[in-house]
Every structure is written in C-alpha cells, then in structure tokens.
Amino acid sequence: MTAASTLVETRPKSTSAGAVASPEVPLGRIQVAVTLLILLGPFVGVIAAAISLLGRFPTILDIVLAVVFYAITGHGVTAGYHRLFAHRSFHATRTVKIVLALAGSLAFEGAVIGWVANHRRHHAYTDRIGDPHSPHLGAGRPWSQLRGALHAHIGWLLQGQSTDVKRWAPDLASDPDLVLIDRLFPFLCIVSLGGPTLIGWAVTGTASGALGAFIWAGLVRVFVLQHATFAVNSACHMWGSRPFTTRTSDRATNFAPLAVFSMGENWHNLHHSLPRSARHGVDRGQLDSTARLIRLLELGGLISDVHWPSPETLDARRVSESGLHALAGQTIDFRERT
C-alpha cells in the first residue's frame, strides 16, 4: 500500500445510480499499526504453530480450548454483531445483548459500533461505489478479479474509508452499554488471548501448556475466524449459487464450503435477499449454527420477536424460470429498532 491510497478527497464521488462513495481519509500511524497488529499477529501465531508441529503436536487441551473459544467468539460476531446489532433479526434482553457484544469483541474483528456501521453501509451500496469491501469495483482492469478478491478479503481494512457512525449506527451510538463495550475493545483483545493462555497454565501448571494454548486457542483460532469472516466478503460475492433474488447490483452468493467455519454466514445470497432473517441456511442440508443458537435462546425466553422466514416468503424470493424480480431502488432501513 502506497501513501497515495490515503489521500483525502474533499468531496465524495457520485455515480449515475446515486451511490455516494465515502471520502478516503488518511490512516494515522497508530491506526495503521493497530490494524496490522490485529491482522498480522494471528498470522505470526499460525507460523509459530507450524514450526511447533516439528517437535510438538497440539494437545487435546489446546484443541478443546480452540474450539470452545472459536464457538464463543464466532457466534458473538454472527449472532451478536451481525444478526442482532446490524440487522435487528431479534430482540434481546439486556444481559444477552451485553454477552453477545462482549463475545463478538473477543473475535479481533473490530469494535462493535464501527463494525455494524460498515456492515450497514455495505448493504446499502452492495457491489456499487460506496460499498467498503466489494470485489467488483475494479472490473475491467488487469488482474481485476484477483485484485478485487484481495481488496474484499483484507485490503479494504488498510484503506482510509469514512463511515459515519451517526448515520449508519445511531441506535448503537446512543446505547450506553454498547458504547462502553466499544471503548473496551483493545482490552477485550487482550482478554481474548490471555483467557486461553491462563487456562492452559492453570490446567497444566507449565509454561509449555500456557504457550500451546496461547498459540492454538489464541492466535491460530483468531486467524481462522478472521479469515472465515473475511471470506464472506470476498468468496461469497464471487463464487457460488444465487437461488434468491437481490437488488440488481448485488452479487451475493451462497458458498457452501464455508458453512461450518462461518457458522452459517456463508448462505450470503439468502441473507442479502432477506437481510432481517434470523436464519440464513434455509434449505435442506444447509448448516447454520447461528440460527440454532438463536432458536435455543428463543426457547429459553432470552430473546423475542425473532424474524424467521416463512415458507411463503422464501418461495416469493426464489429465482424463477421467468427471471429475476430484482429490488432495484428499494431502500432498506437497517437502523430499525425492535
């Protein structure tokens, strides 16, 4: 990335479709350093894990901790950040809201309010100028598909893009609980790595046990989860099937190989067709552990007003042989409160 990519544009760009591109703003040195630390730290852990395999395989404790922390933090992002806060797919009690926000913050994917603001903007401008991470905006250029995939997967995180929280996430910005958790994000990153490390030390009583848990249930777990999420931005807008109708520019797809690691977020075409749906994997055999978690919380009386898609709604949204009935021009208010 060169310095040219961080130049400030004094006026936002407009397109014929009416989309407005957010102006690029300079990334400060501290912001760049923190972003690189969040992205490269887990990668260093993967390298350390690969090296450690030459002399020591992960223990059962390492694997159990990695799976448990992956499930907790991953569902914090999918059920909390995404389906609750970004799309209001259900209404949660204050306790559940706080727990999901904390769990999502442990995933090393950004503080909750900024995450939601960027995601709502992505839906408003999907695969058009204004979308913070579309892989399709550079079409026609040399190596455009590869460049687009890299941009959508990780490159956009290193570009200065202005997402107005007051516009895209005013409901979250006015919630004292979420504002506090948002500010605690750096500390929660430390907890995310320190938690498994301390458990590894407590169970084994050895530095080796603590280090193994730090590498496998800390850094490697974060790395895999980050890239499962990033792949929804990239792979799920490039490859896969599109059985449901979306707006004209929207190229979201269902990409089955990501089902387990993304906890159901990979059924992205359905999600873009019905953004408030609490279930993304709606067809037979489509794994969606996030929807299962939401159902369990509903059965336990901890959440309410869950937006489950009816068979009639799904049938109406399916692509028919007669062609698409795209939702061109429809405005969706992702800030709606429940």
Angle value at C-alpha 306, between 121 and 236, nearest 5 degrees: 40
Q: Which DSSP state fits 8?
A: P
Residue 163, CB half-sphere, CA atoms under 13 Å: how many?
A: 24
Model confidence over 142-195: pLDDT tens digits? Answer: 567 778 788 777 877 777 667 899 999 999 999 999 999 999 999 999 999 999
Alpha-carbon gap, residue 166 to 161, rounded angstroms: 15
Closest Cα to residue 71, out of 101, 43, 104?
104
Closest Cα to residue 270, out of 248, 246, 289?
246
Q: Give the phi and the psi of residue 20 in degrees, each rounded to 5.
A: -115, 125
Task: Pull the structure tokens for residue 327.
Answer: 């939702």
Q: Is 235 exposed, middle or buried (0-12, 13-18, 19+ CB in 10 A)?
A: buried
Model confidence over 77-97: pLDDT tens digits? Answer: 999 999 999 999 999 999 999
Question: What average pLDDT values come out for the chain (338 residues) when binned by 10 residues?
Answer: 28 39 47 59 64 73 97 98 98 98 96 96 92 77 73 75 89 98 96 97 94 92 94 93 93 96 97 98 97 98 98 94 43 38
